[in-house]
Structure 1
Amino acid sequence: MRDYRPERPEPEDFDDFWSRTLDEAKAFDVAAGFRRHDLPLTGVDVHDATFAGWGGHPVNAWFITPAGAGERLPCVVEYVGYNTGRGFPHHHLVWPAAGYAVLVVDARGQGGRSFDSPGGTADPGGGTFAEAPGMMTRGILDPEHYYYRRVFTDAVRAVDAAAAHPAVDPERIVVSGGSQGGAIAQAVAGLRGDVRAALIDVPFLSHFRRAVEITGADPYREIVRFLSAQRGMEERVFRTLSYFDGLNFAARGRVPALYSVALMDDVCPPSTVFAAYNHWAGPKEIVVYPWNNHEGGSGAQVERQLHYLRELFAAG
């Protein structure tokens, strides 16, 4: 798998599609707002943040800094896993404990089924065609309307929202996430080269064709169920997915990236993770967890990331 570098299903207008998408988003002021959230946590300052994402739609996030920070800080923009939201502020104290700011971004339309990680951001731009349950087939017959066009655009705008806060050093913003969050971080780092680094754990939404053919697990299985009911739609579905495939974003990634992969992972098969990693065009490292499933390295990987960023920022 370390040599697995499959051909990428890249449409000819991939760059034009994303350039136009992000230009459309820029028509709306990012309008980042930060409202103090009162919690008896003495070591951190917590703000309930909002900003304008795709279509100007409001996106919610937590913005947390070390208490009383008096200088511009590195900031980790963190994206969440599938079917979860930003959760509660006390879930996100590792980065402030290390001296960083963190912006934890909702995934629009998600978090309604997770009792411990609720979300609060709507998806006003949903498609109109019939969908299988979940997000994977929302608007899947047209890249203009596909769900992840909105999510990835929200995520790009989140970096602008973080940079707008006076406590953040805009030259030291890192994107981070696991599974769906890893896919989002990978996409953002491929779409904009001004982030400092990307922390990409067991990324979802990469090498779609292989993933749906070899795993029986959700969320990829949502696409299989859709195709089993909507016979004859295969070509349109995979054309749409080619605009959102992590392989194509990875090929545009130039910033330092720390990946992780779990070899027992039946949700995001390890070959699909290595396919993205092997296409990453910038400096990169990957941590392999041979006996783990989709939980990957969990806390062990967080420790690895803390050391990685300390060395990265020390190097300038």
Structure 2
Amino acid sequence: VEVFEVHYDSLDGVRIAGWYCLPRHRTAPLPAVVFYPGYISEPTFPKSHAAKGYATFGAAPRGKLRSNSQVNPGYPGLLAHDIIDRNTYAYKGFYVDAWRVIDFLLEQPEIDNSRIGIRGSSQGGALTLLTAAMRPEVAVAAAGAPYLAGVMDAIALTNTYPYQEINDYLRQHPDSRDAIAATWSYYDCHNFVDRIRCPIIVNIGLQDNVCPPETGYEVFKRIGSTDKQLYPYDGHAHDAGSFHHEAVIDRFFAQHLQPQG
């Protein structure tokens, strides 16, 4: 496997980095899989999937990897950063960074542009849903324990972080609830996923106290694709059954992307 640190420009001139992995012995064109990161985690280093015949990209939106010298609201901090203004809210650039990965892949001569898959869990699950909604080039998607879905409900359903960042903000600024709700009407996954058309699978943990399963069920119901399947895992919390579900994702991507590993 060959590993490259790559860079691209995103919103407001922020320079974004990521890990790009390719099978060493390859015949182009290759299918590609993007891995979106969780809230506090750095980008994954997706070498093992490159060994299976995929070009893989470990995405690092602003505040992660090399860009944290340019944008760094902190963890905790990102969820509530500039939250009362939709035009400057921290997730505006974050979302664009995630979408711009697709542009990078489309420019690579070794990539089959008709075979691009995306995946992630928690915040990565949210970015997967959002990118599948906004980038029609995505051929297949797998979202786990989706975060940023039904946010104004989620802050009442759970008392854990990161959602508690919003409740912390509301305790300090009790008159800001309407402004926060207005901002989130532009960013909530619920208001994007009806645009998804590609095959997609979603897994949730029924005992998840970080991203409540109620919001997972609701966002799945709103997905516009007619080729969708939900995997609810009883007895699992925010891991959303990932130990068992990884094999499901592997089969799903192999079926749709057909790597030559």
Provide the residue aligned with 1:190 in structure 2. 133
Does residue 1:46 correspond to 2:3, yes or no?
A: yes
Does residue 1:100 correspond to 2:44, yes or no?
A: no
Does residue 1:264 correspond to 2:218, yes or no?
A: no
Q: Which amino acid aligns with 2:104?
A: A
C-alpha change, 1:83 and 1:197, in structure 2 (3 Å) is same
The answer (yes or no) to whether the contact 2:18–2:58 under 8 Å persists in 1 is yes
Query: In 2, Cα distance between the equivalents of 1:132 and 1:198?
Result: 27
Provide the residue aligned with 1:225 in structure 2. 168
Does residue 1:57 correspond to 2:3, yes or no?
A: no
Q: Secondary structure at the residue paired with 2:120?
A: strand
Specify which of 95, 108, 114 is matched with residue 152 of structure 1: 95
Q: Secondary structure at the residue paired with 2:67?
A: coil
Q: Which amino acid aligns with 1:106?
A: A
Alignment of 1:268-279 (within 5 A): 268-279=211-222
Query: In 2, Cα distance between the equivalents of 1:74 and 1:123?
Result: 32
For structure 2, which runs of at least 5 residues remain unmatched after alignment? Answer: none
The answer (yes or no) to whether the contact 1:96–1:102 under 8 Å persists in 2 is yes
Query: In 2, Cα distance between the equivalents of 1:97 and 1:289?
Result: 29
Q: Which amino acid aligns with 1:298?
A: S
Provide the residue aligned with 1:300 in structure 2. 244
Q: Which amino acid aligns with 1:157?
A: R
C-alpha change, 1:135 and 1:224, in structure 2 (3 Å) is same
Give the structure-2-normalised TM-score. 0.93
Query: In 2, Cα distance between the equivalents of 1:216 and 1:208?
Result: 13
Query: Number of residue pairs matched?
Result: 257
Deviation of the 1:132 alpha carbon: 9.5
The answer (yes or no) to whether the contact 2:40–2:75 under 8 Å persists in 1 is no
Does residue 1:287 correspond to 2:231, yes or no?
A: yes
Deviation of the 1:126 alpha carbon: 7.2
Q: Secondary structure at the residue paired with 1:251?
A: helix
Q: Secondary structure at the residue paired with 1:233?
A: helix
Alignment of 1:5-24 (within 5 A): none
In proportion to residue count, which structure has more helix?
Answer: 2
Deviation of the 1:99 alpha carbon: 0.9
Does residue 1:239 correspond to 2:182, yes or no?
A: yes
Provide the residue aligned with 1:134 in structure 2. 77
Query: In 1, Cα distance between the equivalents of 2:255 and 2:143?
Result: 17
Provide the residue aligned with 1:208 in structure 2. 151
For structure 1, which runs of at least 5 residues remain unmatched after alignment? Answer: 1-43, 111-118
Q: Which amino acid aligns with 2:167?
A: V
Specify which of 111, 123, 139 is matched with residue 180 of structure 1: 123
Specify which of 109, 112, 115 is matched with residue 63 of structure 2: 109
Task: Give the share of equivalent positions with the same residue, in percent.
Answer: 28
Query: In 2, Cα distance between the equivalents of 1:132 and 1:161?
Result: 27
Structure 1 stretches of at least 4 aligned residues deviating more than 3 Å after TM superposition: 123-127
Give the structure-1-normalised TM-score. 0.78
The answer (yes or no) to whether the contact 2:14–2:62 under 8 Å persists in 1 is no
Q: Secondary structure at the residue paired with 1:175?
A: strand
